[in-house]
Amino acid sequence: MMHPRSFSHLDAAVTLAAAQMNSSDDWQANLATAEHLVTEAARSGAQLVALPEFFPLISKDLQVRLDLAEEEGRGPLQEALSALAARLGIWLVAGSLPLKTYVEDKTTNTCLVYGPDGQQVVRYDKIHLFGFQKDGESYNESETFIPGERPAIFDTPFGRVGLSICYDLRFPELFRSLDEVDLLIVPSAFTVPTGQAHWELLLRARAVENQCYVLAPAQVGQHADGRKTWGHSMLIDPWGEVVACLPQGEGLVSGQLDSQRIQEIRGQLPALNHRRL
């Protein structure tokens, strides 16, 4: 059974932002777009900015991704992300990027988080790997990715944050395993068929179940590998209400995480304390 956490030590409200991108097979161009969007968000007051899944690269050429993959803590992509967070003094949730493994022709699909000092604070490797087939559209991430094994959370002055990536959204047991969090972040690249059917439904369900905010940066539009992604980056509050949404096009979604709102909802409906399983 959970016990309520004190909110007295938390910042009452903080601005969050999610970047929506149409990533190509040119990682340097994608990084430049990410840096522009993150900088714009920070200048508008965001203290935490999140990028989408696969933000540095979406390509049908596996070798391009293998060439981009870096060792954890080393390489130009990670150096750029660390420097960006430090320069802007923000929490940067770097969507997902490939990191090297010891398995030939496979990488991880990894979310790295950087603190306002530019230091990496946590790593999360995507646990649930996407598989889908319909009308000639087919995906099997297990062919080229190694799944993660452990959930990941980190603490900030404005609350405890839990991480997930895209397809993880369909597995509520992952989010329950995070215990009590104030914010869930879901960097994604939902396809159009699955996004149209389930994206908002699942995001709002995770917010309601966990009585927390959900920030979901997404990929959008037609990509070089032929896939089409749904977009609709969102911020959702603990009652399941959509605070902000960007249906199409590259840009930013932003809004406030209000700890008093979380406290109010959990006080009125203490569902987290009523759990028995």
The fraction of the chain above a pLDDT of 90, given in percent, is 88
Could you confirm whether domain 15-274 is CATH 3.30.1280.10?
no
Pair type for strands 153-156 and 183-185: unpaired
In degrees and rounded to multiples of 5, residue 272 shows phi and psi of -65, -30
* For residues 120-126, average pLDDT: 98
Query: How many CB atoms lie under 10 A from the CB of residue 225?
Result: 15
- Give the Cα separation of 251 and 249 in Å (integer): 6
Q: Given 35, 40, 53, 134, which residue is catalytic?
A: 53
* For residues 186-213, average pLDDT: 97
Residue 226 has a pLDDT of 87
Query: How many CB atoms lie under 10 A from the CB of residue 140?
Result: 12
Residue 137 has a pLDDT of 66
Q: Given 166, 180, 212, 245, which residue is catalytic?
A: 166
Active site residue 111: no
Active site residue 53: yes
Residue 140 has a pLDDT of 77
Q: Given 126, 180, 212, 250, which residue is catalytic?
A: 126
Residues near 24 by beta carbon (within 8 Å), at least 6 away in sequence? 30, 57, 58, 223, 224
Burial 57-94 (b: 16+ CB within 10 A, else e): bbbeeeebbeebbbeeeebebbebbbebbbebebbbbb
Name the residue ranges covered by the structural domains of the chain.
Answer: 15-274
Helix (H) or strand (E) holding 97: strand 97-100
Active site residue 212: no
Within the chain, residue ranges assigned H as helices are 27-43, 62-68, 76-88, 172-176, 192-194, 200-210, 259-268
Q: What is the pLDDT of residues 169-187, one digit of tens each?
A: 999 999 999 999 999 999 9
Q: What is the pLDDT of residues 238-257, one digit of tens each?
A: 999 999 999 999 999 999 99
Closest C-alpha to 183, from 244, 115, 254, 257? 257
Q: What is the pLDDT of residues 86-96, one digit of tens each?
A: 999 999 999 99
Whether residue 228 is predicted with pLDDT greater than 80 in this model: the reply is yes
- Give the Cα separation of 83 and 94 in Å (integer): 12
